[in-house]
């Protein structure tokens, strides 16, 4: 575990990660199924996209069991690739769709964007995301909802 790649992860962190990993080991053999990688990463506080999980290359055989030693470099890659986009950039992206430049975007337009561009969200995911964010006119205050939206979208 002392390779150069793992240098940024302390021994205590590795022990914590392994403990969490082992919670998903339903056979007691120190391995998890490949299809559990995303769930394990999320339980460790990461929020990888489905595409990032697929890039691990283990989704072709979802019933393959992998040991912690194979999982740790995947965790390191996901952690290293974490999006650290500053809030201003995120807000600026929404401003493009803010026709009145008042900090609000139509929830209908936001739904369309989230279900048709980039890594598309399903209708149910969008409904859950926008729940409680829409005002009486059907708009979302993207500046005031920045923190909630970024956590949900990542």
**Using one digit for the tens of pLDDT, what is the confidence trace for 80-123?**
877 666 777 878 888 888 888 888 898 898 889 888 887 788 88
| Assessment of whether the complete model's pTM goes beyond 0.85 | no
Predicted local confidence at residue 14, as pLDDT: 92
Contacts of 124 (CB under 8 A, 6+ apart): none
- Does pLDDT of 67 surpass 90? yes
Query: 56 in the Ramachandran plot: left (φ > 0), alpha (ψ -120 to 50) or beta?
Result: alpha
Strands 31-33 and 104-106 turn out to be unpaired
Joined tokens for residue 105? 């975007």
**Using one digit for the tens of pLDDT, what is the confidence trace for 5-61?**
444 678 899 999 999 999 999 999 999 999 999 999 989 988 888 888 888 877 678
Predicted local confidence at residue 65, as pLDDT: 94
């Amino acid at each position: 575990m002392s390779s150069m790649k793992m240098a940024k992860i302390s021994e205590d962190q590795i022990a914590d990660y392994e403990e969490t990993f082992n919670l998903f080991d339903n056979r007691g053999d120190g391995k998890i199924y490949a299809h559990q990688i995303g769930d394990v990463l999320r339980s460790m506080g990461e929020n990888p996209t489905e595409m990032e999980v697929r890039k691990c290359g283990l989704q072709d055989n979802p019933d393959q069991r992998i040991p912690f030693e194979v999982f740790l470099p995947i965790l390191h890659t996901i952690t290293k690739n974490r999006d650290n986009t500053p809030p201003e950039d995120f807000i600026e992206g929404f401003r493009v769709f803010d026709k009145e430049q008042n900090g609000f975007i139509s929830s209908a337009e936001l739904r369309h964007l989230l279900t048709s561009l980039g890594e598309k969200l399903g209708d149910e995911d969008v409904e859950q995301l926008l729940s409680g964010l829409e005002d009486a006119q059907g708009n979302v205050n993207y500046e005031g909802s920045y923190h909630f939206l970024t956590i949900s979208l990542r």
